[in-house]
Structure 1
Amino acid sequence: MYASNFVLDDYLSRIGYHGPRDASAATLAQLMRAQLFTVPFENLDVQAGKIVSMTPEDIVQKIVYQPRGGYCYEVNGLFAMALQALGFSYTFLAARPMFYPVRRPKTHMVLCVRADGRDWLCDLGFGSYGIRAPLALDALDSDIAQDHDRFRLSRDAQGVYLLQAWVDGEWANQYGFDLHPQEWIDFAPANYLNSTHPEAIFVQKLLVVRHTPRGRHILLGERLKTIEDGVSQLRELGAAEVAVVLREVFALAA
């Protein structure tokens, strides 16, 4: 993944990362969490009637220099640029969101990253219940704690992985994926669908998520959900309050 305007030091400054720069699993985890805690997942462009740009230079300009956030293709694409600059080996994978009541196409992007002789699932753009650190693909059928969240990864006989999160007292399917490598251009149709289709959640409602070391803030429409240390609080906002929350909670300009 390459963008002519990507500067590693500027990216690391944007996410507040001052750790090691070797291609190890420890560095991978620190880097992922640093970006996750500073770059929000957001669909402001879609809500403004725009088609999200897949041009790598536009992604760098938007997230690193404006600075803004983005949805899966943008935040995972930017992370891939950093991985490449640091010497990590990775592939893009297509994932099928599994929390809808009907079967959906593979519109989500994740990364498979090689570090310390193992393959790791990395994903910084799944919104409400995304993983918070790299998840080893060989850690199957285990209850994996990440801060106050819990995840489980399984694989069927056809080699399809399923990621689940512990939500409201039960395991909830998040998305499925296999290890067939995808190219950047392969996600262009899915990006167009997510930017324009009336049934896409990003078209229907404002969705902004910012992870914190203790939990996450989730803004869905005019509803703000704050999760800290496993405890949730819900707040209904007025239209005027949304702009204030975007600025003060998510560091975004409406």
Structure 2
Amino acid sequence: MDHDTAYEGLTPAARAAYLARIGVPEPGEPSAQALARLQRAHLGSVPFENLSIHLGEPVVLDPAALVAKVVDRRRGGFCYELNGAFAELLRSLGYRVGLLAGRVFDGERPGPPFDHLALRVDLDEPWLVDVGFGRFSLLPLRLDERGPQSDPQGTFTVVPYGAHGQLDVLMNGEPQYRLDPLPYPLADFGPTCWWQSTSPDSHFTRSTTCSLLAEDGGRTTLSGSRLIRTAPDGARTERQLTDAEALTAYREHFGITLDRLPGLSGRAGGGAE
């Protein structure tokens, strides 16, 4: 993509290439059913990964750059990148999309504002769409529904918090993140994205992770040099890899071809397993 010209959204050719990347034919008119197919396909095709941080690659919050990384370079990313790119695909398909700022819970306390980027998609009702949070719902969640919502990954609940319209999203009763109801432009996520990518206090700088949803609903994760298979019931198997085996695993399990392993900080483990 040409970064010297003004970005005006995906061209028809770029949209077709993105749909091919996630293995979905042209979905037709926007609908809740089509949105669910797109989300599930994205989760099973584009890995959650933080490898750019450990390869010395800049994380650029520019729509064209995000789409190019996912589609042309056949990489993944973390929340700002994955949901930022997916928003561009959805908009090109006629969906009304807003970028929501989330605060990820660490135990009982939420993190800082803009800690997470999720999507609000408005059809006949608003939906929460998220392809950038690792283990989370496979299907869109109803933002206005206050009862439990069943998903292949568990039971999700959207709970109002405070007097300013914030929403807590719970998975199996455990809070995952707190959403600000107002949409923000992508650029507003830049400062926290930079912190997440550079601060020694960020868990993204402490270890490498690359994780992808499996067809059966489990996950395959390369955490440092540990290859982890998590079954749908939560059972785990792990195997320590050599450097050569890790490079092969990136290619065979995630479709990512690297000429070198990410930095040594990736040996510690961690991530979206």
**Deviation per residue, 1:169-195 (Å, 9 max, x gap):** xx3221111211111110110110111
Pick closer, same or farther for the CA change 1:8–1:155 going to 2, 3 Å: same
Q: For residues 111 and 4 of structure 1, do their structure 2 counterparts lie closer, same or farther at Cα, with a shift above 3 Å needed?
A: closer
Identity of aligned residues (%): 32
Q: Does 1:132 align with 2:168?
A: no
| 2:110/2:177 contact within 8 Å kept | no
**Retained in 2: the 8 A contact 1:37–1:213?**
yes
For 2:157, which of 149, 152, 155 is the aligned residue?
A: 152
Task: Write the deviation string for residues 39-91 of structure 1: whole angstroms up to 9, x where unpaired.
Answer: 11111100123331112222222110121111111111111111111111111
Q: Give 1:177's aligned residue.
A: 179
Question: Could you tell me which amino acid in structure 1 is paired with residue 225 of structure 2?
Answer: E
User: Which residue, out of 234, 237, 243, partners 2:237?
Assistant: 234
**TM-score normalised by length of structure 2:** 0.83
The 5 Å alignment of 1:62-211 reads: 62-99=69-106, 103-106=110-113, 107-115=115-123, 117-127=124-134, 129-142=135-148, 144-158=149-163, 159-166=165-172, 171-211=173-213
CA distance in structure 2 between the aligned counterparts of 1:30 and 1:7, rounded to whole angstroms? 19
Distance 1:208 1:236 in 2: 15
Contact in 2 for aligned 1:148/1:230 (Cα 8 Å): no
Structure 1 position 148, deviation (Å): 4.1
What secondary structure does 1:90 align onto?
strand
TM-score in terms of structure 1 length: 0.89
Q: Distance in 1 between matches of 2:96 and 2:187?
A: 19
Q: Check 1:236–1:173 CA distance in 2 against 1; reply closer, same or farther (3 A cut).
A: farther
1:221 aligns with: 224
How many pairs are equivalent? 247
- Distance of 1:130 and 1:234 partners within structure 2: 20
1:15 aligns to 2:26 (yes or no): no
Partner of 1:192, secondary structure, is: helix
Distance 2:106 2:75 in 1: 27
Give the letter aligned to residue 233 of structure 2: G
The ranges of structure 1 where at least 4 consecutive aligned residues each deviate by more than 4 angstroms after the TM superposition are 1-6, 100-103
Could you tell me which runs of 5 or more consecutive residues in structure 2 were left unpaired when the two chains were aligned.
1-6, 259-273
Deviation at residue 102 of structure 1 after TM alignment: 5.6
Please tell me the residue identity of whatever aligns with 1:245.
Answer: A
| Aligned-pair CA distance for 1:154 | 1.4
Structure 1: stretches of 5+ with no match in the other structure: none
| CA RMSD after TM alignment | 2.0
**1:149 CA displacement:** 2.9
- Kept in 1: contact 2:121–2:127 (CA 8 A): yes
1:11 deviates by 0.8
